[in-house]
Amino acid sequence: MKPSSPRPERHIDTLPNALAELDRLTARLAGQHLAIFLDYDGTLTPICADPAQAMLGEAMRARIAALASRACLAVISGRDTADVQAKVGLPELYYAGSHGLEIRGPDGFHEERAQDYLPALATARQRLMQALTGVDGVLVEPKRYAIAVHYRAAPEARERVHRCVEQIAAAEPRLRTSHGKKIIEIRPALDWHKGRAVEYLRGELPLPDGHIALYIGDDLTDEDAFAALGPADLGLIVADGEDNDRTSFADYRLPDVAGVGQMLEAIERTAAPAP
Ligand SMILES: [Mg+2]
């Protein structure tokens, strides 16, 4: 479902390039307390046909670690929390996996909110595996709170995959589908998404009033998070051309993962100490 927001919604191609306005943006963030929310796939690492291969580069890890010593940092992903936590490997961060359904952080922080949906997911998982296992180039990835079907390696199978996934999800009232780049997922039919996760974390993290939230993401599910930002916050969409022909609630665009690195480095140079 399309999020609603008081923020302006603009075509991605018309958003200003954040790298062209780096000085102005970092000046706006300088001396402020920051909450930084980062998506993983397509934002911190290039998207891979096999999601297991999307590893975080050492330079990006070092940048995130440096920034985490000066700002509150959370990674918000559709991956399982344990998966994204292991891939990033920095214990000082918060990790909101499964689009925020399970959140872990330092000092044993743990919040999980969809255990009731596990039996319905197990049923759907079994049916999807039966229906799609063996279809060339289609990857069924069971996750804790979702079943993802990837068809990046078989774009011609899109219609068949969508029809099959929609059918199986429709049979189970506790589940719904969500779409992304060459991926369709079955998820709990809960009013919970990356935007809710951002709002929840802003209430839980040790952040002072007046802090600025910065969210960087690349896909449709990140729009819920952009939509949840306030007027003083900053939303940056990584738009590499694959999915540019749509609107976004972000304020700026970044060209690619390397651009995200440049942005984070610039913020690290000017950010306030961690609250
Ligand atoms: Mg992404």
Which residue stretches of the chain have pLDDT < 50? none
Domain at 10-14+31-113+192-270: CATH architecture: 3-Layer(aba) Sandwich (3.40)
User: Ligand 1 centroid to 120 CA: how many Å?
Assistant: 26
226 C-alpha to center of ligand 1: Å?
13
Cβ within 8 Å of residue 275, ≥6 positions away: 33, 72, 206, 207, 208, 211
pLDDT at 2: 76
Query: Catalytic annotation on 39?
Result: yes
pLDDT of res. 241: 83
Contact 141, 147 (CB under 8 A): yes
Strand partners, 238: 254
Give me the pLDDT at residue 204, please.
92
Coil vs helix vs strand at 217: strand
- Phi, psi at residue 183, to the nearest 5°? -150, 140
- Residue among 23, 39, 222, 245 flagged as catalytic: 39
Domain residue extents for the chain: 10-14+31-113+192-270, 115-188
Specify the pLDDT at position 51. Answer: 87
Structural contact between residues 42 and 218, judged by C-beta atoms closer than 8 angstroms? yes
**What is the distance in A from the centroid of ligand 1 to the CA of 42?**
5
Structure tokens given for 73: 């940092």
Q: Kindly give the distance from the C-alpha atom of residue 77 to the centroid of ligand 1, in angstroms, as a whole number.
A: 7
pTM recorded for the entire structure: 0.93
Spell out which residues have Cβ within 5 A of ligand 1, the ion: 39, 41-42, 218-219
- List, for residues 33-49, the tens digit of each pLDDT value: 999 999 999 999 999 88
How high is the pLDDT of residue 274?
53
Q: Structure tokens of 28? A: 């706006």
Q: 29 CA distance to ligand 1 centroid (A)?
A: 24
Q: Which CATH superfamily is domain 115-188 in?
A: Trehalose-6-phosphate phosphatase related protein; domain 2 (3.30.70.1020)
- 42: closest CA among 188, 186, 244, 234? 244
Query: Alpha-carbon distance 102 to 113, whole Å?
Result: 7
The angle that helices 257-270 and 22-29 make with each other, rounded to 10 degrees, is 40
Dihedral sign, Cα of residue 199, residue 203, residue 207, residue 210: positive
Residue 221 main-chain phi, psi, to 5 deg: -65, -20
Ligand 1 centroid distance, CA of 210 (Å): 27
What 3-state class would DSSP assign to 240? coil
Please state, in angstroms and rounded to a whole number, the distance separating the CA atoms of residues 150 and 141.
8
Separation between Cα atoms, residue 37 and residue 254, nearest integer Å: 15
> Residue 182: left (phi > 0), alpha (psi -120 to 50), or beta?
left
CA of 43 to the centre of ligand 1 (A): 6
Over residues 114-144, the pLDDT tens digits come to 999 999 999 999 999 999 988 999 999 999 9
